[in-house]
Structure 1
């Protein structure tokens, strides 16, 4: 029995399935101590995070460590979701088998006092004090200049800052902290590279001794020059695939996102193109940030056009992750002749939808105590979404993001992949896209998988699903 089979039962809350797998397993300890996801969490962490007391009880019954730590030194108790209907039952199941809810148990330091613990939270009384402090100047204005002046001043100032803060939130969305734009650079940057790339950050020749060709081609809607690597497939393959691959990286990254995946495609004979979107890597740009697929979809189509018209490949599959995953869906819907298959890892429904979710995660707890607070917060989210749509060129009437486009891909094949531990784009996005898509379609929800980390967490399963899909539809004709 594999850890993937057990993880699938855990993620779905199937306590009976968990019992069956563990009962028939030859090495129960290895399964229970096995890590799922990049954070180093165990299956007990996963069960606790979903609020499955029955599954937690089964895992503990077979000897799971109730105080096992993940990479961030969090025990399963720290994973139990607040407010979940079965949160208390899950906690009781853990505590009854020895789980300790005390950071000092793990750090061997003295526990913090109540005062110190309370200081790490922003209380309602503190927020009320801040509100009163901000209100005092307006009271002075009211007394000094009269109610009409005070009303006009307060309304104008509030509206200005409301819109201004929405603009700056959108600025962070378009240029996230990991976005280091160097349009037109001669070499790819080496600053703050993601951990999952490890040391695969140079080029196919240096990292894997695979020959490649530096290429460039023009995109539309901006007339930028895009640059990348064309990597011919291995020549001595018994049955070379008919489909070639165009890889699409995520927002703020570059072509090296897919470099560590390249050997498994190369050895099977796939001709591959890894390139940088506009405003990324060595491709041209105007320092405007990423556009969540609105402009990048034209870059993806330009890459497909290069593969079909310049390199003379008959079929092209778009394989993208994160923003690249959404872009693959959007590009395929835009031109059915250039794109034959789509593989999309952790895509988003729309950029505005994702932005609203992140704003809610960061700020929602401070506002959602009253109906008035909910109203103001919803208005602020709408303001940010309007700014974002305006700046990326997405008019609601266009209906061209992944949420609107995925139904237009069929009857071309679509594979969606997502991890349940994705904190950047929740896996519910892929589930919804799968519901909207037309057949033929496939969905892989990987228990414990993180953002753009499915290959790193489950290399064998990733490889099996990827090439089963590509092989199944290699000669698929629409």
Structure 2
């Protein structure tokens, strides 16, 4: 019975890693739980339903071989004359484009058109491989969005959370036209994320390695593409790392280590408040002040 229980336990754990659910929010944009509204705002951030902003439904091609659906929210159509460029929102694992809807008004007022899209296997995007790949496939989606908008804008800003932030860092050496990046709670690598998680602390090393191997096999990705492997090859893009000391999913030390690996301009803000992906919600004014200063230093109208 012991081997059977072990196999079932490891398989169940790999399911939770490959197919995470953010606050129980489903991929059906028509549904919204109370928890979902608490973290993402009215209608779980679905601007189709709130009708609070003028936007377009657009899809962009991905290097992965499918189209990525997204919302394009322009400044001028929303009554804002200031125009500096475009901001690309890259959501976290188990999330979708709705995660960043509560940020849209702030970035519009900084003069940025907004593009928020679903990464592969998230939201309404296609899913040709099983689940989350912790930046392996998602980073190619990020690069695709950059290539698409780099043809149209001189100033590109990127904002990523968790796996989204890690995905940006993986392709950072190729993002030569990006003026600045806001990175909230990125991880060093997939293995370090699992090894450093609270759930792994009481397990023997061989069991954790078995779990990592199973996830890689089931998810059909390798772990060679990682922020810690990519950052030494990048140096030109200003980075703002934001990571809460109270983050129980990705330890804040990951951001500190990543900043040390980067030879380019960077700032690290480690507040004592907020949980994973929810620092803005805890202290909106200080969060926005940090981002506003990053924009003022690096992006001119």
Same fold, TM exceeding 0.5? Answer: yes
Structure 1: runs of 5 or more not aligned: 1-133, 135-156, 368-376
Partner Cα separation in structure 1 for residue 222 and residue 128 of structure 2: 22
Contact 1:305 1:338 (8 Å CA) reproduced: no
Query: Which residue is 2:194 aligned to?
Result: 355
Secondary structure (helix, strand or coil) at the match of 1:451 reads coil
Partner Cα separation in structure 2 for residue 341 and residue 379 of structure 1: 40
Partner Cα separation in structure 1 for residue 121 and residue 181 of structure 2: 23
User: Which of 288, 291, 297 pairs up with 1:466?
Assistant: 291
Query: Which residue is 1:314 aligned to?
Result: 154
Q: Kindly state the Cα deviation for residue 393 of structure 1 after the two structures are TM-superposed.
A: 4.7
Partner Cα separation in structure 2 for residue 340 and residue 393 of structure 1: 33
Secondary structure (helix, strand or coil) at the match of 2:69 reads strand
> Number of residues paired by the alignment?
298
Secondary structure (helix, strand or coil) at the match of 1:471 reads helix
User: With CA pairs under 8 Å and 6+ residues apart, which has the higher RCO, 1 or 2?
Assistant: 2
CA gap of 1:405–1:161, structure 2 versus 1, over 3 A, is: farther
Query: Which residue is 1:260 aligned to?
Result: 102
User: Highest Rg: 1 or 2?
Assistant: 1
Structure 2: runs of 5 or more not aligned: none
Query: Which residue is 1:346 aligned to?
Result: 185
Q: Kindly state the Cα deviation for residue 387 of structure 1 after the two structures are TM-superposed.
A: 2.4
RMSD: 2.8
- CA deviation string 1:304-337 (max 9, x = no partner): 222223xx1123222101111111111323x234
CA gap of 1:440–1:363, structure 2 versus 1, over 3 A, is: closer
- CA deviation string 1:338-376 (max 9, x = no partner): 544321101111122111223xx33644x6xxxxxxxxx
TM-score, normalised to structure 1's length?
A: 0.57
- CA deviation string 1:32-64 (max 9, x = no partner): xxxxxxxxxxxxxxxxxxxxxxxxxxxxxxxxx
Which has the larger strand fraction?
2
User: Which of 57, 62, 70 pairs up with 1:228?
Assistant: 70
Partner Cα separation in structure 1 for residue 200 and residue 291 of structure 2: 38
Contact 2:146 2:175 (8 Å CA) reproduced: no
Q: Kindly state the Cα deviation for residue 231 of structure 1 after the two structures are TM-superposed.
A: 0.7
Query: Which residue is 1:282 aligned to?
Result: 124
Which has the larger helix fraction?
1
CA gap of 1:288–1:189, structure 2 versus 1, over 3 A, is: farther
Query: Which residue is 2:213 aligned to?
Result: 386
User: Which of 10, 34, 40 pairs up with 1:197?
Assistant: 40
- CA deviation string 1:426-475 (max 9, x = no partner): 11111111111112111111112211111111100111111110221115
Secondary structure (helix, strand or coil) at the match of 1:314 reads coil
